[in-house]
Amino acid sequence: MKNEPSTVWNPSSPQALLLNPEEGAPPLVQALKDYDQLQRRRYHVPAHAGLNLLPEAWDLVREPYRYDLSELEGLDVLSEPTESIREAQAQIAKIFGVEHSYFLVNGASVGLTAALLSVVKPDETVLLARNVHRSVLSGLILAGVKPIWFLPERLPDWGLWGAVTPAQVEEQLNAHPAVKALFITSPTYEGIGSDIQNIAKLCRSRDVLLVVDEAHGGLWPFSEQLPTSATALGADIVIHSMHKSGGSLTQSALAHLPIGSRANPTVFQQALNTLQTTSPSYLLMASLEATCHMLVSEAGQARIQALLEKTFRLRRELNANLKHFRLFQPNLEEIPVWDPCKLYLVHPTETGEDWAARLEERDRLAYESASPYGALYLANLGASNEDFQVLQQALLAEDLRSTSQAQEVDLPMSLQARLEAQNPSVLLPEMAILPRDAFFSTGEQVSVEQAVGRIAKETVVHCPPGIPVLFPGERVMEMHLPFLPEEGVLVVAP
């Protein structure tokens, strides 16, 4: 799966074994343990004072309360780290082979917003693939910059948005020479990555900073069988949502400034301090730290290898036996950057929303996402052999049931409508005013029919990882009507 030999991490290098779990804990985890052993009476926030105050029937968490602490003496300060947090982030930077790493306790979202604030200034221009995460919109509003949108490649047979190509980037940079930064999502929700190495070369030749949302590729730096991380391919800022694939607690993520990054670390830290909570969860930070050390440990590497073996085995079995379902597995000559742990399936006669809901209800198989096109299941580090077997058996059984049903049926109207939305004139509407100006303008709620010709004040998107129908500042067209909410839309007042 690698698009070039990895330079991020090598199992034989010293930084790969920063810590032997038998010899002690990493710095932030150790600081929390040390503080707990002081056995101080807690006259400070949080109010639970280290005790689980919930009734036993609600007791979903026990130990977390004991170590849920705030910025106390000996525990360092996230916004201005000088002790354990500074050392913890430095060790993580070594693990990822980057210059700087930053704890994100507001998820990858805060890292993306901070990235935008740190690479462009008000009234400057930023280039964005239309499938960026909606948190980037927050940055557009806060920074007051002008967005230039373009569409990634489309895979119509699968109902997926694919890679951003170097040719697309070059075309856009030629057309918009004032662009200061480029934002790309790689991999996509379904695991499709872009040629970051050549895109980065283009950006550097034009003095354009490159920010890569690699939220769904958190495992990429940890295995030679997965694509090379953007941290090693010339990007200036890379965001990893470690809870999505690495196994840390939800809402924990990392931001990296790779070696050779042109982003200013002081400015980036300032942007984070502007956006991130002043009461960071030490449990989230310790979870990030411990997860990263686990992933490069011998046990962690064995777990990743086992995951990949189980995933490839499941793929082989499904590809060999499915008659109706199709499992997305691209031609690597056409899509060389791809994450096999994203299991995306489509059915020829049913929407993903229908058949995935049926499997969840009947077989208790909880999917990651479903759309009129297909459904996505994630092969996770925490999944057991039995989990893989049950998923395989359920899909094969459902496929067998399809054999006895009518094969020729009309596609659902909702799917037809979504297919029509591939028209670029719908997906790339006129930007009438800046998103910031639309956000701060007086607005009014109007019916769908009354919205035509007006300027949107809100984001209309049916799924957070999807292509938005409208962003604030864009003009509503008649072709948008099938995709607007029935209760109407918020538009800029006259």
270-307 tens-digit pLDDT? 999 999 999 999 989 988 898 898 899 888 899 899 99
pLDDT tens figures, 164-186: 999 999 999 999 999 999 999 99
Over range 466-471, report the average pLDDT. 83
What's the CATH fold of domain 14-296? Aspartate Aminotransferase; domain 2 (3.40.640)
Q: Which of 57-61, 95-99, 459-463 has the highest mean pLDDT?
A: 95-99
Residue 144 has pLDDT above 70, yes or no: yes
Cα–Cα nearest to 131, from 353, 456, 463, 457: 463
Q: Please give the pLDDT value at position 213.
A: 97
Task: With a cut of 80, say whether residue 428 has pLDDT above it.
Answer: yes
Q: Which pLDDT score is estimated for 63?
A: 67
The answer to whether 67 and 75 are in contact (CB under 8 A) is no
Residue ranges of domains in the chain: 14-296, 299-403, 421-492
pTM for the model stands at 0.88
Task: Decide if 75 contacts 84 (C-beta within 8 A).
Answer: yes
Query: Where is average pLDDT lowest: 128-132, 263-267, 458-462?
Result: 458-462
Res 481: pLDDT: 85
| Of the options 3.90.1150.150, 1.10.3720.10, 2.40.160.40, 3.90.1300.10, the CATH number for the domain spanning 299-403 | 3.90.1150.150
Domains 14-296 and 299-403 share a fold: no
Report pLDDT digits (tens) over 3-17. Answer: 443 333 343 333 444
More confident residue, 66 or 306: 306
Check: CB of residue 146 under 8 Å from CB of residue 126.
yes
SS3 sequence, the chain? CCCCCCCCCCCCCHHHHCCCHHHCCCHHHHHHHHHHHCCCCCCCCCCCCCCCCCCHHHCCCCHHHHHCCCCCCCCCCCCCCCCHHHHHHHHHHHHHCEEEEEEECCHHHHHHHHHHHHHCCCCCEEEEECCCCCHHHHHHHHHCCEEEEECCCEECCCCEECCCCHHHHHHHHHHCCCEEEEEEECCCCCCECCCHHHHHHHHHHCCCEEEEECHHHCCHHHCCCCCCCHHHCCCCEEEECHHHHCCCCCCCEEEEEECCCCCCHHHHHHHHHHHCCCCCCHHHHHHHHHHHHHHHCHHHHHHHHHHHHHHHHHHHHHHHHCCCCEECCCCCCCCCCECCCEEEEECCCCCHHHHHHHHHHHHCCCCCEECCCEEEEECCCCCCHHHHHHHHHHHHHHHHHHHCCCCCCCCCHHHHHHHHCCCHHHHCCCECCCHHHHHHCCEEEECCHHHCCCEECCCECCCCCCCCCECCCEECCHHHHHHCCCCCEEEECC
Supply the pLDDT for residue 32: 81
What integer pLDDT is reported at residue 12 of this predicted model? 35
Average pLDDT over residues 21-40: 79
> Tell me, which fold does domain 421-492 have in CATH?
Ornithine Decarboxylase; Chain A, domain 4 (3.90.100)
Residue 422, pLDDT > 60, answer: no
Q: Which tokens is 190 given?
A: 């379904």
Mean pLDDT of all residues in the chain?
A: 86
